[in-house]
Chain A
Amino acid sequence: MMWNWSFAWHILPTILHGMVITIEATILGMLLALVLGLFWAGLLLLPNRWIFWSTRGITEFIRDTPLLIQLFFCYYVLPEIGITIPALLTGITVLGINYSAYTAEVYRAGLQNIPRGQWDAAKALNFTTWQTFTRIILPQAIPPIVPAMGNNLIAMFKDTPLLSTITVMEMLDRAMIIGDKTFRYLEPLTMVGILFLIISLMASALIGFTQRKILVRR
């Protein structure tokens, strides 16, 4: 079976349509991961041992189990407990929660790099804990972790094809539907692979660029 260019052109719009959903899922999932990850990292800073260990336990469990099974679990179990949301939303939520466990570690590393003296100084200046965290600590902790967050973003982008297993019509799902209908898998699957390759190469070039920028500024 040889490569058929006219067939490839014919299916390109369908696949590009799927790419919109892929990118949508990546961006929304990452937003959730950024917010939730900061929440976990904040909990880990609290001086309460119980909160610390339960947060640790939750994030560790999330990181040590396959995303695919987490997706299946939520896709099948959420409707049972009365939550019926579109598959795409389930997918975005699971992606976001899964990656929040990773972004939490990145935030933690960033926060640990802030010298203790900054907290003490803010206290001496009569700042509240919340003010210290949002005005003093975070603005210093965020810029160095931007490249690491970017790497998480690329990793999440490459995990979005898993959403096809819960009927989300992203790129891979569309490619497989085309393949099942026409029995030509070579073109759609190769095209999806190439599109992923192009986007992730561009994204990692961009991350390398910002990383150099940040290093120069220091």
Chain B
Amino acid sequence: MLHMLPMMLRGALVTGEVTAGAIVVASVASSCAVAMRLSTLTALDWPARVYIELFRGTSALIQLFWAFYALPLVLPFRPSPIITAIVVLGLNGGAYGAEILRGAILSVPRGQHDAATALNFSATTKVFRVVLPQAWPLILPPMANLFIDMLKNSALAGLVQVTDITFNAQILQESTLRNAEVYGLALVIYFIMALVLAGFMRLLERRMKFPVGARI
């Protein structure tokens, strides 16, 4: 089993890359989508709504296969597998993230928005100094779950030629036929990665716990 480890760890590095990339894409996508969702302009609200429903209503694997097999037939170029995987998994996570952000922002009392307006705060000040600091404690725990889901979803990238843990495990399985060892090892590596990510998110949560009036 030991000789499998280097190849699996190389896969783990790619899995980490895909997950990290997807988390960045998801963060940007969900921020944009939630800003559009909360705007009073229907022309902005609707595209965001369609994006969220489209990605939440279909399966991540179908989205990935669609982008990998069907989209290049329409596009003038073919993006590399890892880029396809990062963008698709990121957009998928972003749709779920947008709903998390929306719920948290809407749960900040209306009066806080009004008070910021009454104090003549600019829109950016209002969002970053008044609303978000109060929404963070509500955002982080479900975001942590989402990021772990995205780590697990990154295994799908192995099905579209991205050389991650899943892909390398399949190759090892075919060449060695030691099924239990290969996939058992893959499960353990994913589990450890999830624990590390969860630990990191918990650390972040603790630091963000008292964003308002932190200096006691």
Contacts and interface: CB of A to CB of B under 8 A. Distances in A.
Interface of A: 1, 61, 64-70, 72-73, 76-77, 80, 158-162, 164-165, 172, 176, 179, 185-186, 189-190, 192-193, 196-197, 200-201, 204
Contact of A196 (B58, B70, B194): B58
Contact of B183 (A76, A189, A196): A76
Contacts of B169: 69, 72
Contacts of A161: 59, 61-62
Contacts of A204: 57
Nearest to B71: A186
Contacts, number: 111
A185 B183 CA distance: 30
Given A196-B57, A196-B59, A197-B57, A186 B74 contact: yes
B73 A68 contact: no
Interface of B: 53-54, 56-63, 65-66, 69-70, 73-74, 148, 152-156, 158-159, 165-166, 169-170, 173, 179-180, 183-184, 186-187, 190-191, 194-195, 198
B70 A61 contact: no
Q: Which of B69, B156, B170 gathers most chain A CB within 10 Å?
A: B69
A52 to B, nearest CB: 19
Main secondary structure of the interface of A (DSSP, over half): helix
Given A1-B73, A179-B69, A185-B73, A73 B187 contact: yes
A64 B62 contact: no
Contacts of B61: 161-162, 164, 172
Contact of A66 (B63, B166, B173, B179): B166
For the complex of A and B, list the 7 residue pairs with the smallest distance between their C-beta atoms, beginning with the closest: A76-B179, A66-B155, A64-B194, A185-B69, A73-B183, A158-B59, A66-B152
Contact of B173 (A70, A76, A158, A176): A76
Nearest to B66: A189
A80 B180 contact: yes
A67 B183 CA distance: 12
Contact of A65 (B60, B66, B194): B194
A66 B63 CA distance: 17
11 contacts: A66-B155, A66-B166, A69-B190, A72-B183, A73-B184, A161-B59, A172-B61, A176-B69, A186-B70, A189-B65, A196-B57
Nearest to A184: B73
Contacts of B165: 69
Contact of A70 (B59, B74, B170, B187): B187
A180 B43 CA distance: 39
Given A64-B195, A193-B62, A201 B186 contact: no
A129 to B, nearest CB: 33
A69 B194 CA distance: 14
A193 B58 contact: yes
Given A65-B191, A76-B179, A189 B62 contact: yes
